Each structure stands twice: as C-alpha cells, then as structure tokens.
C-alpha cells in the first residue's frame, strides 16, 4: 500500500514538498490549493500588472508537469480535519484520507487596524485576487498612497507610477527598512525611489483611511495630522503566517503554526512548512519565522527528505536574500546587521552602487555581504563566510565574487570611494 501524502497549499513551499517527495518516493501525492489551480510565481505578480508577463508566463511548470510527476491537484479549500480518522474535508465536499498531512498555507497580509481600511479603493498586494482588484481600482487613477516601508511597498509604488499615478509612499520608520538595512543602503534606496518621482515620506504612521462618501477612499490621515489625497491606497505593512486552517482544527499555533526543526507540528503525522510556520524556541536558534520565497523552497526540500528518508534537522545554511528597488538590484549574504558601521564593515560606494563586507571585529573573519547595483556571486560569498576567511583576503579577492555581465565597466576599487575603513584593514583597501 503506497503512502498517501496530502499537502494543503500549492505555493512554492507545498509544491516543493510534493516535487521532492516524488523524487525520493512512490507515494501518492495530493496538493490542495484554493488561490489558483497551479503553482504560480507570486514574486512575478508585479510584472503581470506592468505588462511584461502574462498569467500564463508566471506558472512555474507547464500543465503536463503535474500528471507526468503524478502529483494530483485539487483546486479547492481545505476546511476541517479529523486527525483521529486521518481525513480532511474540502469545501467542495470531497473527503481526503491521508497518511501524512503537510500544511503549507503561506501567509496573509497584515492589517492596518485603523478606521476606514475596508473602504473600496484600499487593497493589500499579496494574492492573485489582490492583483485583479488593484488592476480594477487603479484604472485611470490619479493619486495613490502606499503604506509600509518594505519590499512589497516599493513594488506597489513602481507598479502604480508606471501607470502615471502620483504615488506618496508613507513609511513609519525614520529610514527605509531601518530594522534590516544599514544606513548607507537605506539612503541609496531612498534616493532611487525618489528619483522615480515618488513622494517618499518617513516617520509617518497612518491614523485613518478617509472617505468623502463613506464608501470609497479619498485619502489617509496620519498621526501627525497630515492628510494625503488618494483614489487608491495600497497597504504593504508585511505579512503574517496564515494559521486559519491550523487554528480552526486545534493544531497549536503561536504567531505561526508551531513546528520543531523536523517541521513536525504537535499533532502526529501533521507537518507544516514555509511562511505559515514558527519554529519552536528550543529548535534551531535562528529567526523564528522565515517568510521568504527562498526559505519556503528550502523548507520544502528539507521536509521532503524527512518524509522519505532519515529525518535530519533543518539547517538554514548561510542566509541570503535579494530584492530590486526600481532599477537598483540588492543582494545580501550571511549576516549584515542594520547597525553595521565602520567598526564591523568595509564599504565601497560611488554614490550609485555599493558593496559592504561585514566582519567580526575581534577575529577579522568575514560574516556577510550586501550589495546594491552590483551583482555578487553567491557561491563565492558563501564559501568565504563558511571558511571564515579574513576580511583582508576577501577585500583583495573581491573581484572573484563579482557577477556583473561581461563588459560591465570594471569595478575599479580605486575609483570607489572607500567611505568607511576599519584601521585594521585600511592597508589592503587603499
């Protein structure tokens, strides 16, 4: 009798579990998804809005892929579970028995929790439904306010400005991504955003979304008393784990569905991966919730090997992430604390591009990299971090980690103004 694995959620986490279970085993695999019939690249929704891709283009696999890999899809919503009988029930009426159940329910956008947030003309930007709604709401639009200083906010701003809409971008913090990025990076990004005609305002917290007719949005009012006119308000203040199914069925949740380093929930034979999980405090000792495209895929691979082989604990490996702020590409590897300065890092910048190398001031070993406008080679950066190479060595060999296209003007280290140099590494930089 083949084992039957049922996965709730057909996003990148759930589908990665399915693909890798299939690679390793002959199990019966059923994936339930309610947002769309197929896996699509959530990361590419902005390109559909802007017109360079279609919805078909953002499917990760052709339609034959699922049948060929014997992954059964259900375009339906899972509502209830009976863990003693090992079955779940779908809204469409179907009952699915399982041997092991995987929850990959993703995340949902955080709510503002201010008056007026449910007015017509207010939307988050997360799902396919949000995309369609924003396409409708912004047709012929004139002015918009985007709330939230994260990665989705800047995507929304870029989308709206491409349609000729005047965008005010309200950020609660004093600088862009204050809790994640060092100050120089924040400044470069803010400059990039403003150069595209965005009215970027820091230090503003929204108090209310306003309306003149009580039905459609007319603008926002901030706690400082300032008002901003808008016919569309985009809310991008982060996402939180979607624990709806778990909570309804009494699977223990905290902020996310609580799992250990093997992705086991506290219900036997029920697992959870991706955006929706929160690792137990006793677990792996890093960030408790990882809501990243990359992390979801790594969770999926790890859980699949646990489901089909010898269980081993999840290891996040050397952290990495990337983003694009209008035309400015950003990459980061390893650890780059937001309070990095000259005591723990070397920075090259010519005012448009930037590379930062973070090191341990006590041992002088390299801990992390971030770059803006310069592409870095992940394998090289990770190798140096894992080897604990000395910062002087890395500075001298930094060209080995450049990943810019051929004929890119060579990153002349002499021409790059060295903004901050630790006395210990000055000699090898200048």
**Which of 298, 368, 394, 395 is close enough to bind other proteins by CB under 8 A?**
298
Minimum Å gap between C-beta 389 and other proteins is 18
Considering only residues 317 to 376 of the shown chain, the ones binding other proteins according to CB under 8 A are 317, 320, 322-324, 326-327, 329, 331, 375
Residue 62 binds other proteins (CB under 8 A): yes
What is the DSSP-derived secondary structure letter of residue 409?
P
**What is the C-alpha separation between 166 and 197, in angstroms, rounded?**
8
Residues 6+ apart with CB under 8 A from 118: none
Residue 58 binds other proteins (CB under 8 A): yes
Residue 413 binds other proteins (CB under 8 A): no
Comparison of 371 and 392: residue with beta carbon closer to other proteins: 371
Angle at 49 between CA 46 and CA 55, to 5 degrees: 90
Residue 83 binds other proteins (CB under 8 A): no
Torsion angle, alpha carbons of 56, 60, 64, 70, to 10: -140
Pairing of strands 143-147, 232-235: parallel
Considering only residues 188 to 207 of the shown chain, the ones binding other proteins according to CB under 8 A are 195-198
**Helix segments in 149-203, DSSP class H:** 151-162, 183-195
**Which of 26, 57, 341, 360 is close enough to bind other proteins by CB under 8 A?**
57
Residue 262 binds other proteins (CB under 8 A): no
What is the DSSP-derived secondary structure letter of residue 237?
S
Candidates 41-49, 208-216, 277-285, 416-424: pick the segment binding other proteins (CB under 8 A). 41-49
In the chain the first and final C-alpha atoms are separated, in Å, by 68
**What is the C-alpha separation between 414 and 259, in angstroms, rounded?**
50
Candidates 77-85, 130-138, 256-264, 307-315: pick the segment binding other proteins (CB under 8 A). 307-315
Comparison of 221 and 375: residue with beta carbon closer to other proteins: 375
The residue count for binding other proteins (CB under 8 A) is 59
**Residue of 270, 263, 286, 403 whose CA lies nearest to 335:** 286
**CA distances (Å), origin 30, targets 7, 8, 40, 100:** 6, 8, 17, 11
Minimum Å gap between C-beta 206 and other proteins is 23
Residue 136 binds other proteins (CB under 8 A): no
Binding site for other proteins (CB under 8 A): 12, 20, 41, 43-44, 47, 50-54, 57-60, 62, 64, 161-164, 195-198, 293-294, 297-298, 301-302, 305, 309-310, 312-315, 317, 320, 322-324, 326-327, 329, 331, 375, 377-379, 382, 403-409
């Amino acid at each position: 009798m083949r084992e039957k694995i049922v996965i709730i959620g057909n996003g990148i986490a759930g589908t990665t579990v399915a693909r890798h279970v299939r690679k390793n085993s002959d199990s019966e695999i059923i994936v339930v998804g309610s947002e769309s019939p197929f896996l699509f690249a959530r990361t590419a929704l902005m390109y559909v809005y802007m017109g360079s891709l279609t919805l078909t283009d953002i499917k990760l696999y052709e339609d034959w892929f699922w049948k060929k890999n014997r992954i059964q899809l259900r375009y339906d919503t899972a509502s209830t579970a009976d863990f003693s009988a090992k079955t779940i029930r779908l809204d469409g009426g179907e009952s699915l028995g399982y041997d092991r159940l995987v929850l990959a329910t993703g995340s949902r956008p955080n709510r503002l929790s201010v008056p007026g947030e449910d007015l017509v003309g207010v939307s988050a930007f997360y799902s396919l439904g949000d995309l369609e709604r924003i396409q409708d709401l912004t047709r012929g639009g004139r002015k918009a306010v985007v709330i939230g200083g994260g990665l989705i906010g800047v995507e929304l701003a870029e989308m709206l400005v491409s349609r000729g809409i005047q965008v005010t971008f309200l950020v609660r913090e004093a600088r862009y991504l204050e809790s994640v990025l060092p100050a120089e990076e924040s400044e470069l990004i803010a400059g990039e955003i403003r150069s595209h005609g965005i009215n970027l305002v820091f230090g503003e917290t929204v108090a209310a979304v306003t309306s003149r007719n009580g039905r459609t949005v007319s603008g926002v009012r901030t706690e400082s008393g300032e008002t901003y006119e808008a016919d569309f308000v985009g809310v991008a203040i982060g996402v939180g784990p979607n624990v709806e199914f778990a909570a309804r069925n009494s699977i223990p949740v905290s902020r996310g569905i609580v799992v250990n380093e093997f992705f086991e929930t506290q219900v036997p034979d029920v697992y959870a991966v991706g955006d929706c999980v929160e690792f137990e405090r006793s677990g792996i000792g890093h960030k408790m919730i990882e809501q990243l495209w990359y992390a979801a895929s790594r969770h999926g691979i790890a859980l699949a090997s646990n489901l089909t082989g010898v269980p081993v604990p999840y290891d996040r490996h050397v952290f990495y992430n990337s983003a694009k702020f209008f035309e400015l590409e950003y990459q980061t590897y390893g650890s780059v604390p937001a309070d990095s300065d000259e005591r723990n890092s070397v920075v090259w910048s010519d005012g448009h591009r930037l590379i930062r190398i973070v090191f341990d001031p006590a041992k002088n070993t390299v801990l992390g990299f971030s770059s803006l406008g310069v592409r870095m080679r992940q394998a090289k950066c990770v190798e140096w971090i894992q080897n604990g190479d000395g910062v002087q060595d890395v500075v001298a060999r930094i060209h080995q980690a450049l990943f810019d296209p051929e004929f890119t003007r060579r990153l002349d280290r002499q021409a790059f103004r060295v903004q901050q140099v630790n006395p210990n590494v000055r000699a090898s930089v200048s």
